[in-house]
Structure 1
Amino acid sequence: MNYLKRSTLYLTHKKGQSLLLLLIMSAILVFVLSGIIIQNAAVSATNSVTKSAGTTISVSANRNKMFSKMRSSASKSKTKTITTPTVSNAKLKKAGSLSTVAYYNITNTASVNASSFDTVSTTTGSQGGGMMKGGASGASTGNITIDGVSSTKLTSSFISKEDKIVSGRNITTSDANSKNVVIEKELASSNGIKVGDTITVKMTTSGKKSIKLKVVGIYKAKSTSTSSMPGSDPSNTIYTSYTLPATITGTEGKSSTVTYTLSNSAKEKSTTKKIKSIINSSSFSVSSNDESYQQLLQPMKNVQAFAKKIVWLVAIAGTIILGLIIILSVRTRQREIGVLVSLGESKMHIIGQLFSELFVILIGAMVIALLLGNFVGNKVGNQLLAQQQTTSVTSTSGANGGPGGGGAPGSSQTGGGMRGGAMTTQSTTSSASKKALKTLNTSISPSSVIKLGGMGLVIIALAVCVSAISILRLRPKDILIGE
C-alpha cells in the first residue's frame, strides 16, 4: 500500500488526534502569520515615516568664528562689534534645488524703530502693560523686529500653530523684493491698522531714513514676553520677505540663515555633505535636526523587532510542541511501524508518511491562519504601536526637561524672532505627534503567504526529524517480541 494513501487513512481513522494536531498547528501558524504581517506593516510604515518626518538641515552663522573675529577686531579697536556673516542667496537656492530637499526657508533679521505707530510694551509687577510711543530713534537696537522669511508658513511658530493668520494672507516667495509685511493682531488693533494699510518705520543706523511697509496680513501670537525691554513683546515682531532685512542691513543678495526640509529623512547625511560643499564657508555651521524623524521611527523599529521575535519564538515553540506530540504518537504506533518494517517497508517511507500526515494538516491550518491571521495581527500590531508611541513621547518629554527644553532663547533661525528657539522642542514634539501613525496598515500579501508556507514546512520538517531518531532506532524483531 502506498504510504501517501496510508497517511490519508490514518488521519481519517484517528479523527480526534488529527483535530488536535490541526488546532495546535493552526494556533502556531496564526501567530507566525501575525508576526509576519506586523513586521511587513512596520517596514511599510518605516518607509512612510522616512519620507514624511520632515528632517531639517540648518545653515547658520558659526558663533565661534563670530566671537573669534570680534576678539581679533577688538585688539585693534576699542569697540567690540559682532558681525553676522552672510552667504549669497544664489548658493542657498542652489542647495535648495537638490532632489532630496522638499522645501527651504531663508531667514534674515533686522531691527528698526516704529514711526507711524506705537509699539506694544510689556511690564512686570503691578505696572501693567501698554503702548510705547514711537521709537528710540537714536538706539542701535530698534523696538521693532523685522523677521524676513521665504514663507511664514514654513517658520516654526506657524508650523506649531503658536502664530496663525487671522486676517489677510501669509508672506510667500512671491513677496521677494517687496515691502509687504504681516503684523501681530495686538499691534494692529492698538494702532487701528488694517490689511491694506501702510505703516512707516525708521532705520536704527539713520533715524531720519524712513521705510514704508504695506500690511498684507495680520497674525495672532499665543506667546507673551516676560521681559520689560523695549520691543521684546512678540507683538512687535513683523514678518516680511527675507530680502527686506537684507536691504535694511546693507547685505542685499545675501542671507544669514536657511533651513532645508528633506523629502527623505534617510538622505540626511548625504544631503548635509552636499550642502556643506555648496556653501563652502567656515563662517557657517551646517547642522541637522532629525529629532522628529527619530521620535517617529523608534516605535516602528520596536514594533518590527517585536514582530520578528514573535515569529521566531512561535516557530521554535511550535517545533518543540509538534516534535513532542509526534514522539508520543510514534510510541503508540510502535506495533504498526514494526509490522510495516517487517513486511519490507522502508523506514524512510514511514518517516515520509509522518511528514505527509503533517503536511495535510498544515494545509488546513494555513487556511485557518489566513482567515484569522489578519484580524489577530491588526489587533496585536495596533495595540503594540500605541504602547510604543506613548513610551516614545514620554521618554522624549522627560529627556527634554519640559517645555522649551534645549532651545536657545532669542534664536530666530526658523522665524519667530525672540520666540523661535524656546519653541523648537515643543514644535518638534507637536509635529511628530501629528505625523505619528495611529494605526498599522496590516494586510496579507502574497509574500506573506509564501513566508507562512515556508515557515510551516520548516516547522513540520524539524518536528519529523526529531521524531525520526526514535523511528530509525526501532528494530521490528524487538517490537514484535515486546508485543
Structure 2
Amino acid sequence: MNFVKRAGLSLWSRKGRTLITLATFLVISVMVLAGVLINDATAQAEQDARRSVGAEVNLEADLGQLGGGSELRAPRIDAATVDKVGALPQVRKYTYSIWDRVLLKGGPQLADGGPKEPMGPGGTVGMGVLDTSLLPDFRSGKFTLLSGEHLTAADKGKKRLLIEERLAKENKLGVGDTITLTGNDEKTTADFTVAGVYRDPSPATEPDSEYGISPANMLYGTVGGLSALSSERNGPLQAGKATFLLQDADTQGAFKDEAKKVAGPALDGFKLDANDKAIRQMTGPLKSISTTATLAMWLMGLAGAAVLTLLVNLAVKQRHKEYGVLLAMGEKKRKLIAQQALEILVVGALAIGLSSLFAPRLTQSAGQALLGREATSAQHKIDSWQGPPSGSTGLGEGIDPNDKPVEDADPIDKITVRLDPADLATLGAIGLGIGLLATAVPAGAVLRLSPRTILTKGK
C-alpha cells in the first residue's frame, strides 16, 4: 500500500485526532488570514487617502546651507524655473508667492479695528500668489471663498485680487469692481479687478503673526500684477518658496529626482521637503491596527506551529508499532515522514478552505471595531489640541505650533475587507510552512526508529 493511501486511511480511522488537528489548524488559518486581510485593507485605505490628499512638496530655503555672516540672505529662484518644475508629469498643481507693501489711495480705506501702522498710513501687505487655492489656509478650510473665484496660473499676467470680506464691506466692493493700488515707492500705480471675496475668521484686532497687520486688510493678487508694483523688481520675477501638489504621494521620489534635473544649480540653497502631515494624521489609526494584526498573526503562527508539532510528535509515539511493522516490511523512512507531512497538509488545506468562508466577515467586524476605537481616540486628541495664546509662539508654554492638527484631515475610521486569490496564496504559503515545521521535529524521531527494537520491546 502506498503512503498516500495510508495517509487517507489514517486520517479517517483516527477521527478524534484528525478533528483536534483540524480545529487547531483552523484557528491558526483564521488568525493568519485575518492578519493578511487587515494588512491589505489598511494598505488600500492608506493608498486611497494618499491619492485623495495627494502629496505636497515644498520648495523652501535650506537654512543649513545659508551659513552665517553679516550678508546672510535667503536665496531666491526664478519663477520661470519654478514653472519648469511645475510642468513635470507628477505635478497636479503648483504655486509660488511674492509679497510687498502696497498702498490704498484715492478712495479705498483700510478696514477698522486692527493695527495699520506697521505698513504705514494706508499701507497693507500685497501677497502675489500663482494659485490661491493652494494656500494652506484655503486648503485647510480656515479661509472660505465667499464669492468669485480663486486666482490661478491662467491669471498670472493679469491684475486681479482676492480681498477679505471686511475690507470689501468697508469700501462696498464686490466681484468685478476695480481697486487702485500704489506700490511701495508710492509712485507706481495700477488698477486691479476684484476676482473674489474671502473670509478670514481671525479677529481684526489680532495682527498677522508674520506681517503685523490686521488680517482684514490682507490682499492676495496675481504674481504678475503685484510684481509690476514692486519698487525692487530688477530682472526676472523671483520667488522665495513654492508648493507643488503631486498627483500621487508615491511619486515623491521620482518628482524630486526630475525636479533636480530640470532646475539644476538653481536649487542651490533650497530643499524639497515633503509635507505629508495630513496623510500621517489620517492614516495613524490604520498603522496602529495593522501593527497589532501583524503581531497577532506572527504570534498565532508560531504558537500554532508549536502546538501542531506537539500533536504530530505525540502521534508518532502512539504509532511506533505501526511504523515498526512498516519498516520491517521494507518501507522507507522517508516515506513515513512524507506520510506524516501529507496528513498534516491535507488537514491544513481543509482548514484553509473553511477559514476562507467566514474569516473575511469576522475580520471586517473585528477590524472595523478595532479601527473605530483607534480613530475615536485619535480624533479626541485632535479636538483637544490647544494652540498657543494670542501673540505667543507657544514655546514658553511648552506648545509646539507645528503639532497643530491639519483641518479637514479626519482619521480614517472605515476599512473594507476583501478576499482575493493573492490572500489565499499567502495563507497557503504560511500554512505550508507551518505544516512542514510541525513535521520537522517528529521526522527526527522517525529517522531514529529501529524496527527490531520496536517489535521486540514494544517501543
- After TM superposition, the score normalised by the length of structure 1 is 0.77
2:215 is matched with: 234
2:417 is matched with: 442
Answer yes or no: is 1:352 the counterpart of 2:338: yes
Select the residue among 402, 406, 411 that pairs with 1:429.
406
Equivalent-residue separation in structure 2 for 1:460 and 1:218 (angstroms)? 69
1:272–1:286 contact (8 Å) kept in structure 2: no
2:101 is matched with: 111
| Number of residues of Structure 1 aligned to a counterpart in Structure 2 | 443
What is the 5 A alignment of 1:291-306? 291-292=276-277, 293-295=279-281, 303-306=289-292
- What is the CA deviation profile of residues 415-434 of structure 1, one whole-angstrom value per residue up to 9, with x for unaligned ones? xxxxxxx98764x6225x24
1:258 is matched with: 242
Farther off after superposition, 172-181 or 386-395: 386-395
Instruction: Tell me the SS of whatever aligns to 1:120.
Output: coil
Answer yes or no: is 1:309 the counterpart of 2:299: no
Give the AA of the match of 1:214. T
What is the 5 A alignment of 1:409-424? none
| CA gap 1:162/1:267 in 2 versus in 1, 3 angstroms | same
Instruction: Tell me the SS of whatever aligns to 1:364.
Output: helix
Equivalent-residue separation in structure 1 for 2:68 and 2:457 (angstroms)? 97
1:78 is matched with: none
Equivalent-residue separation in structure 2 for 1:95 and 1:141 (angstroms)? 39
Instruction: Tell me the SS of whatever aligns to 2:350.
Output: helix
Equivalent-residue separation in structure 2 for 1:226 and 1:403 (angstroms)? 18
Give the AA of the match of 2:3. Y
2:148–2:175 contact (8 Å) kept in structure 1: yes
| CA gap 1:477/1:63 in 2 versus in 1, 3 angstroms | closer
Equivalent-residue separation in structure 2 for 1:5 and 1:283 (angstroms)? 74
Answer yes or no: is 1:143 the counterpart of 2:120: no
Equivalent-residue separation in structure 2 for 1:313 and 1:320 (angstroms)? 11
Equivalent-residue separation in structure 2 for 1:347 and 1:271 (angstroms)? 60
2:119–2:213 contact (8 Å) kept in structure 1: no
Select the residue among 400, 415, 427 that pairs with 1:452.
427
Select the residue among 280, 284, 287 that pairs with 2:265.
280
Equivalent-residue separation in structure 1 for 2:74 and 2:185 (angstroms)? 16
Deviation at 1:199, TM superposition (A): 2.5
Answer yes or no: is 1:220 the counterpart of 2:195: no
Instruction: Tell me the SS of whatever aligns to 1:144.
Output: strand
Deviation at 1:104, TM superposition (A): 0.8
Answer yes or no: is 1:369 the counterpart of 2:352: no
Instruction: Tell me the SS of whatever aligns to 2:101.
Output: strand
Equivalent-residue separation in structure 1 for 2:212 and 2:335 (angstroms)? 92
Equivalent-residue separation in structure 2 for 1:385 and 1:247 (angstroms)? 53
Select the residue among 311, 314, 331 that pairs with 1:328.
314
Deviation at 1:385, TM superposition (A): 4.7
Deviation at 1:163, TM superposition (A): 1.0
Aligned residues with identical type, % of pairs: 25
1:41–1:440 contact (8 Å) kept in structure 2: yes
Answer yes or no: is 1:199 the counterpart of 2:179: yes
| CA gap 1:397/1:68 in 2 versus in 1, 3 angstroms | farther
Give the AA of the match of 1:106. Y
Farther off after superposition, 110-119 or 49-58: 49-58
Give the AA of the match of 2:337. I
Q: Which runs of 5+ in 1 are unaligned?
A: 73-81, 125-131, 410-421
| CA gap 1:107/1:333 in 2 versus in 1, 3 angstroms | same
Please give the root-mean-square deviation of Cα atoms over the aligned residues, in Å: 3.9
Equivalent-residue separation in structure 2 for 1:175 and 1:306 (angstroms)? 50
Deviation at 1:404, TM superposition (A): 6.8
Give the AA of the match of 1:177. G
Give the AA of the match of 2:87. S
2:149 is matched with: 169
- After TM superposition, the score normalised by the length of structure 2 is 0.81
